[in-house]
C-alpha cells in the first residue's frame, strides 16, 4: 500500500513514518508513505495557501487552485482514490479500514485552517472521512490515524495476526483486560483463572469480561 499524504505539515508525516511499527513496515517496504507539501503548489510569491471566507465566518480557508493543482499532480501519476479528512465526512471505523487495506494506493488530502474551498472538494475528492465527532486542528492527525489503522490490516505489518482476532471492535465487543508479570502488584493479583492453564475456562473468562466492559463503556455496540 502506498499512502500519499497531502498536507501543510509533511515534516510531521516524515517523523511518523520513521518510528515504531509503521517505521518498520516502511523500512521493509510493506507500505510506502509519500508526504507532499501542499504549499509547494502555491503560485503566490509569499507561498500563501489560504484566504478569507466568502459570506463571513471565522478563520481562513485553503484556496481551491492550490489544492486542485496539488491533487492533480499526484493523480497524474496514479489513479488512486482521493480521501479528504473532515469532521463532515463519513465516520471511520475498523470495517472501513479493512476495506481500504485491500487497495494498492490512496491519496490522503488533509484540510488545515477552516478546511478547503468546496469547489476543490467537488472536483477532486472521492470520499470524505471523519475520525470522530470532534474538530481537530488539522487533517494530518486524521491521516495518521487512518494510516495506522489501515496498516494494521495489511498482512505482515503486525507480524502477529493473533492480536487482530481478539482486539476491540471484533465481534462488536471491546477487548477484555490483560495482565503481565508480576502475578501480584500493589496487592492486586492477576485473576486466578488466567494462571490455571485451563484453556476453555480462560476463553470463557475473556468473553465474560469483554461483554462486561462493553456493556459498561459502549452499550451501543451490544445493541
Ligand atoms: N479534520 C478536523 N477534524 C477532523 C475529524 N474529526 N476527522 C477528520 N478530519 C478532521
Residue 101 has pLDDT above 80, yes or no: yes
111-133: pLDDT as tens digits = 999 999 999 999 999 999 999 99
Distance 142 CA to ligand 1 centre (A): 6
Separation of CA 5 and ligand 1 centre (Å): 15
C-beta of 139 in contact with ligand 1 (< 6 A): yes
Going by alpha carbons, the residue nearest to atom 5 of ligand 1 is: 87
Query: What are the chain's domains?
Result: 2-151 (3.40.1280.10), 168-222 (1.10.1270.20)
76-81 mean pLDDT: 96
How far apart are the C-alpha atoms of 146 and 140, rounded to whole Å?
10
CB of 85 within 6 A of ligand 1: the answer is yes
Asked whether residue 160 carries a pLDDT value surpassing 80, the answer given is no
The stretch 96-125 carries a mean pLDDT of 97
In this prediction, residue 162 carries a pLDDT of 54
pLDDT digits (tens, 9 = 90+) for 34-72: 999 999 999 999 999 999 999 998 999 999 999 999 999
What does the alpha-carbon distance between residue 189 and residue 35 come to, in Å, rounded to a whole number?
47
pLDDT confidence band for 218 (50 / 70 / 90):
very high
- Which residue, among 57, 65, 67, 151, has the nearest Cα to 110 in the 3D structure? 67
pLDDT at 84: 98
Going by CA atoms, what residue is nearest to atom 7 of ligand 1? 130
User: What pLDDT is recorded for position 223?
Assistant: 85
- Indicate the pTM of the whole model: 0.96
Chain mean pLDDT for the chain: 96
Q: Is the pLDDT of residue 31 over 70?
A: yes
75 CA to centre of ligand 1 in angstroms: 23
Nearest to 143 by CA among 94, 93, 83: 83
Specify the pLDDT at position 161. Answer: 58
Average pLDDT of span 193-208: 97
Q: What is the pLDDT of residue 29?
A: 96
Ligand 1 atom nearest to 85, measured from its CA: 9
Amino acid at each position: 500500500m502506498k499512502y500519499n499524504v497531502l498536507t501543510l505539515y509533511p515534516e510531521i508525516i516524515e517523523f511518523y513514518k520513521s518510528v515504531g511499527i509503521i517505521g518498520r513496515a516502511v523500512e521493509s517496504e510493506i507500505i510506502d508513505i509519500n508526504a507532499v507539501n501542499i504549499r509547494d503548489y502555491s503560485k503566490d510569491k509569499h507561498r500563501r495557501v489560504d484566504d478569507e471566507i466568502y459570506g463571513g465566518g471565522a478563520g481562513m480557508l485553503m484556496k481551491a487552485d492550490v489544492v486542485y493543482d496539488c491533487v492533480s499532480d499526484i493523480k497524474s501519476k496514479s489513479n488512486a482514490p482521493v480521501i479528504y479528512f473532515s469532521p463532515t465526512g463519513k465516520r471511520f471505523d475498523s470495517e472501513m479500514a479493512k476495506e481500504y487495506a485491500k487497495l494498492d494506493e490512496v491519496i490522503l488530502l488533509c484540510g488545515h485552517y477552516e478546511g478547503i474551498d468546496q469547489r476543490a472538494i467537488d472536483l477532486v475528492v472521492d470520499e470524505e472521512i471523519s475520525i470522530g465527532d470532534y474538530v481537530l486542528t488539522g487533517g494530518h492527525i486524521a491521516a495518521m490515524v487512518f494510516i495506522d489503522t489501515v496498516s494494521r490490516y495489511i498482512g505482515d505489518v503486525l507480524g502477529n495476526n493473533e492480536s487482530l482476532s481478539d482486539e476491540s471492535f471484533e465481534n462488536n465487543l471491546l477487548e477484555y483486560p490483560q495482565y503481565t508479570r508480576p502475578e501480584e502488584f500493589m496487592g492486586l493479583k492477576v485473576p486466578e483463572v488466567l494462571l490455571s492453564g485451563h484453556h476453555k475456562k480462560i476463553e470463557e473468562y475473556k468473553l465474560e469480561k469483554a461483554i462486561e466492559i462493553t456493556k459498561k463503556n459502549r452499550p451501543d455496540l451490544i445493541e
